[in-house]
């Protein structure tokens, strides 16, 4: 729904039109867009879908069993011991919240920058955001141990007249994450209303029509409706943009406002946001490579789209690399013995050789996966190859998980006194719950591709036959 000025017609930019190729194939028609995107909702899901769904459900069941066991036995089943009281649950929380960020970046920030190629990926990317935030939100609730009392995190009037401590970053997080979940959900649903109306009007079957009709909210597509709709959509994009930057900044402040060596660092907010976008785009690429294959959407999720996302991954990988370098440099440059002890102690080990410390494997994975591997994307042939980018995106998310592991777990391993030195050993329950969160994420995503138009139909139609990099133009007699 790129807003543009009616004066910016194609005639005024003849050079630009020739210079940049159209986003979608030139012979595509509106009818065809509707058909291509609505048709998969009518078909029974194919074998690949069921294969993925069964694996996801199985993982989810494993994670759920581990969680039930934790409810019975307590947090002791995890690797948590003094001094490491924030374990993989917090790592998973930061990981999943980060994944979500790319969705909002695509749907809100690229919208504000009028990047019209986003139209094909924004629906799925936003869905990814919501499901990632769902996964993320579960972890703090499990981490608090007494999950039934998790509502204590919310300021509610209680008989002791106590309120939450608003000066604590942990409460900032509660507000940031719940706001993020709510606004993302509203934004996603709002973007979907006209498309649900399209499905409602084109799906056979009385009940399907009624269900889609319910969620399409009486959408008729009048000029007045669109007029307010576009404005509201733009405003939601405008508030989602600072919101997404604030969320991971707040998450980083959980660590940065503490005094623990390795955490107490002003670089954390931008560092976390860049990492979030990096891992989020990696996840979008993972999902899109699968979706375009399963649903034959190669004409919509084109190689150009995938290449754009690879470029963003490359840029954010460089930002992340810069942040790693700053961290390492500062650990030395502060001359603070605790900072140095934390960094050297964790990464260098007793023999003072690099990559022999107790957490050096995590740090090495982080650098290899997030800094070195993405450099392959400098090569055009590689960043246009689906298998290559698929593998790189998986590697990137592995690396991002270990980045959070390095930050969160290793900093607690070297606190101020030798009595507060430790080593975190995740148990099988740590891994089971992590696997369960992946199960939950993919289950939700597969249900999404089954029941909701994966691509924003109305948005794609609005930019059909337009070049990639120019201001929106009024569509001429183009799709006769």
Partner 1 sequence: MPKAKQPAVMALFRTPQALLDAVRTVRERGYRGIDALTPYPVHGLPEALGLKVSWMPRITKTFFFVGAGLGFYFEYWAMAVTWPINVAGKPYFSIPAFMPVTFECGILTTGILTFLTLFAADRLRPKPSFKALDPRITNDRFALLIPTGFEGPAPATRLLEEMGALEVRELHV
- Mark the segment that binds partner 1 (CB under 8 A) among 12-20, 52-60, 61-69, 457-465: 457-465
User: Minimum CB separation from partner 1 for residue 154, in Å?
Assistant: 12
Angle at 92 between CA 91 and CA 97, to 5 degrees: 105
Binding mask 10-39 for partner 1 (x = CB under 8 A): -------------------xxx--x-----
Contacts of 98 (CB under 8 A, 6+ apart): 248, 272, 275, 276, 279, 280, 400, 404
Q: What is the 3-state secondary structure of 248-298?
A: HHHHHHHHHCCCCCCCCCCCHHHHHHHHHHHHHHHHHHHHHHHHHHHCCCC
Residues in contact with partner 1, total (CB under 8 A)?
Answer: 84
219 near partner 1 (CB under 8 A):
yes
239-298 residues in contact with partner 1 (CB under 8 A) are 239-240, 242-243, 246, 250, 253
Q: Please pick, from the candidates 190, 371, 388, 468, the single residue that binds partner 1 as defined by CB under 8 A.
A: 190
152 near partner 1 (CB under 8 A):
no
| Residue 109: alpha-carbon gap to chain centroid | 14
Helices 223-256 and 88-104: crossing angle in degrees, nearest 10, is: 150
User: Minimum CB separation from partner 1 for residue 452, in Å?
Assistant: 15
b/e per residue, 294-322, with b = 16+ CB within 10 A? bbebeebbbeebbbbbbebbbbbbebbbe
Q: Please pick, from the candidates 94, 102, 216, 455, the single residue that binds partner 1 as defined by CB under 8 A.
A: 216
Which is closer to partner 1, CB of 21 or CB of 213? 213
Which is closer to partner 1, CB of 251 or CB of 289? 251
CB 311 within 8 A of CB 278: no
User: Minimum CB separation from partner 1 for residue 396, in Å?
Assistant: 29
Q: Please pick, from the candidates 44, 72, 167, 381, the single residue that binds partner 1 as defined by CB under 8 A.
A: 167
Q: Please pick, from the candidates 220, 380, 425, 428, the single residue that binds partner 1 as defined by CB under 8 A.
A: 220
Report the alpha-carbon distance of residue 429 to residue 416 in Å, rounded.
29
225 near partner 1 (CB under 8 A):
yes
User: Minimum CB separation from partner 1 for residue 227, in Å?
Assistant: 5
- Mark the segment that binds partner 1 (CB under 8 A) among 130-138, 201-209, 405-413, 434-442: 201-209
Structure tokens at 40: 């998969």
210 near partner 1 (CB under 8 A):
yes
Cis peptide before 83 (omega within 30 of 0): yes
Report the alpha-carbon distance of residue 459 to residue 477 in Å, rounded.
18
């Amino acid at each position: 729904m790129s807003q543009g000025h009616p004066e910016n017609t194609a005639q005024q930019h003849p050079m630009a039109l020739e210079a940049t190729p159209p986003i979608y194939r030139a012979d595509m028609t509106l009818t065809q867009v509707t058909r291509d995107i609505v048709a998969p909702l009518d078909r029974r899901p194919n074998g690949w879908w069921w294969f993925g769904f069964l694996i996801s459900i199985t993982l989810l069941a494993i994670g759920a069993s581990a969680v039930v066991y934790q409810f019975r036995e307590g947090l002791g089943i995890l690797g948590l011991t003094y001094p490491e009281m924030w374990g993989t649950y917090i790592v998973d929380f930061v990981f999943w919240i980060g994944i979500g960020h790319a969705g909002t970046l695509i749907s809100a920030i690229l919208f504000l920058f009028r990047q019209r190629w986003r139209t094909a990926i924004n629906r799925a990317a936003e869905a990814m955001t919501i499901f990632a935030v769902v996964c993320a939100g579960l972890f703090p609730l499990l981490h608090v141990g007494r999950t039934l009392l998790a509502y204590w995190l919310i300021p509610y009037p209680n008989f002791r007249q106590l309120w939450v401590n608003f000066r604590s970053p942990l409460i900032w997080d509660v507000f940031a994450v719940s706001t993020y979940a709510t606004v993302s959900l509203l934004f996603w649903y709002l973007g979907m209303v006209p498309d649900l109306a399209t499905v409602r009007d084109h799906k056979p079957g009385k009940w399907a029509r009624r269900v889609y009709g319910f969620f399409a909210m009486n959408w008729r597509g009048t000029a007045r409706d669109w007029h307010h709709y576009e404005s509201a959509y733009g405003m939601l994009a405008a508030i989602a943009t600072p919101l997404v930057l604030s969320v991971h900044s707040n998450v980083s402040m959980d660590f940065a406002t503490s005094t623990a060596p390795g955490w107490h660092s002003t670089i954390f907010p931008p560092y976390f946001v860049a990492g979030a976008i990096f891992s989020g785009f990696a996840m979008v690429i993972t999902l899109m490579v699968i979706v375009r294959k399963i649903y034959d959407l190669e004409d919509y999720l084109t190689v150009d789209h995938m290449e754009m996302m690879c470029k963003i991954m490359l840029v954010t990988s460089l930002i992340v690399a810069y942040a790693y370098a700053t961290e390492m440099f500062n650990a030395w440059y502060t001359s603070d013995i605790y900072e140095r002890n934390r960094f050297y102690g964790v990464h260098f080990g007793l023999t003072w050789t690099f990559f022999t410390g107790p957490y050096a494997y995590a740090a090495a994975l982080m650098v290899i996966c997030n800094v070195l591997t993405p450099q392959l994307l400098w090569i055009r042939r590689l960043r246009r190859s689906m298998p290559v980018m698929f593998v790189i995106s998986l590697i990137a998310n592995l690396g991002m998980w270990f980045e959070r592991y390095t930050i969160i777990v290793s900093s607690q391993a070297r606190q101020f006194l030798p009595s507060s030195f430790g080593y975190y050993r995740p148990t099988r329950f740590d891994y089971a719950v992590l696997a369960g969160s992946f199960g939950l994420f993919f289950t939700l995503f597969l249900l999404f591709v089954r029941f909701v138009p994966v691509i924003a139909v109305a948005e794609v139609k609005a930019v059909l036959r337009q070049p990639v990099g120019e201001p929106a133009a009024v569509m001429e007699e183009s799709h006769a």
